[in-house]
Amino acid sequence: MHIPENYLSPQTCGVMAAAMIPVWGVCIRKVKTELPKEKIALMGVGAAFSFISMMFNIPIPGGTTGHAVGGTLIATLLGPYAACLSVSVALLLQALIFGDGGVLAFGANCFNMAFVLPFVGYAVYSLLRKWIRRGSGDLIGAGVGSYLGINAAALCAAIEFGIQPMLFRDAAGNALYCPYGLDLSVPAMMIGHLTVFGLAEVVFTVAVLAFVKKTSPDMITGTVRRGSEVFGNMDSRTAGMEAGITGNGTAGMEAASAAGKKADAASGRKSGRAVSFLLGALILATPLGLLAEGTAWGEWGVDEIAATGAGYTPAGILNGFSLKALVPDYSFAGLPEWFGYILSAVIGAAVLIIVFRLIGDVKKPQRQQVQA
């Protein structure tokens, strides 16, 4: 679903980037004011999961490929505003370092995958979670939400592709950018996402969410603690609170605070180990994405597009903006392809986790007001 360089006109790219600026602004403000400091570091983990999920290319008949994105997954764990920023940073890293997605098309890719996908997915997730009260409601909501979210994103990308030949042509009547109109771009994008790629998004979202729910439930935003079995030892905190109320005063409150911090630390270490294990397993499995032959629809190289049925290479694609990536196509010269793919996954995940951890470190802790 990554839109490459020069498949959209500079004007379209400018409009899409301008549309994302207020979205990013709102998301940054929401995260700063509503997300606890420790959760910001988890945005890096979410971004890493998204980055890695997009490395698993899945082939379908016809020679095209696609992948999951993980936007709804992050939204269910940390909220849609955090998901938007996490996926945006992952897409920026892919574009600048690995040449996956155009630099000029960054705003459009973020609009589709970092804005439309997680917000649609989260809206559906929230609605179904309220309707389905039983324990599996969150998984059902996340699955349906992720499916609708990625298809909404794919439809946006299809429209962005399809309007190019309607708006931008040369003197000879040839398209300057993407040569395929809406009559081709919409079915070409939607068939794969309504079938294989949408289901891949569902499987990835539900599987990871179920794993996190079982091993690290404290990662899920908005989850209520239920006794000592979830998120730490609530009994120890309750005991401390009772001590404060029944006469031990400050000493009891301090005991509650100390017990709470100790329980949180133990829970955090356990959660970190479980999530790190899953992330590491996915990184080692990324070479499976190399098994998919062919190029995703709309992501052809300059030397490929003429053979797709267009019969020519549009001038805007042939002579447009170009930026050489540091590690193009997730490959390193002199290294086996599979090893370069794993190394790229390690680098991408590490950079994203470090960036958000640094951001979390400079954020001031939220003040907790205690009413007398």
pLDDT computed for residue 303 by the predictor: 72
Is CATH 1.10.1760.20 the right assignment for the domain spanning 10-223+272-362?
Answer: yes
CA distance readout (Å), 109 to 9, 23, 75, 351: 14, 13, 17, 20
Q: Rounded to whole angstroms, how far apart are CA atoms 98 and 197?
A: 22
pLDDT computed for residue 344 by the predictor: 97
pLDDT computed for residue 61 by the predictor: 67
* Residue 174 phi, psi (nearest 5): -80, 145
pLDDT computed for residue 298 by the predictor: 67
CB atoms within 10 A of CB 145: 30
pLDDT computed for residue 254 by the predictor: 53
pLDDT computed for residue 221 by the predictor: 61
pLDDT computed for residue 133 by the predictor: 74
pTM of the full predicted structure? Answer: 0.84
Stretches where the chain sits below pLDDT 50 are 223-247, 249, 253, 255-257, 259-261, 263, 265, 368-372
pLDDT computed for residue 137 by the predictor: 83
CA 220 to chain CA centroid, Å, is: 16
Domain boundaries, the chain: 10-223+272-362
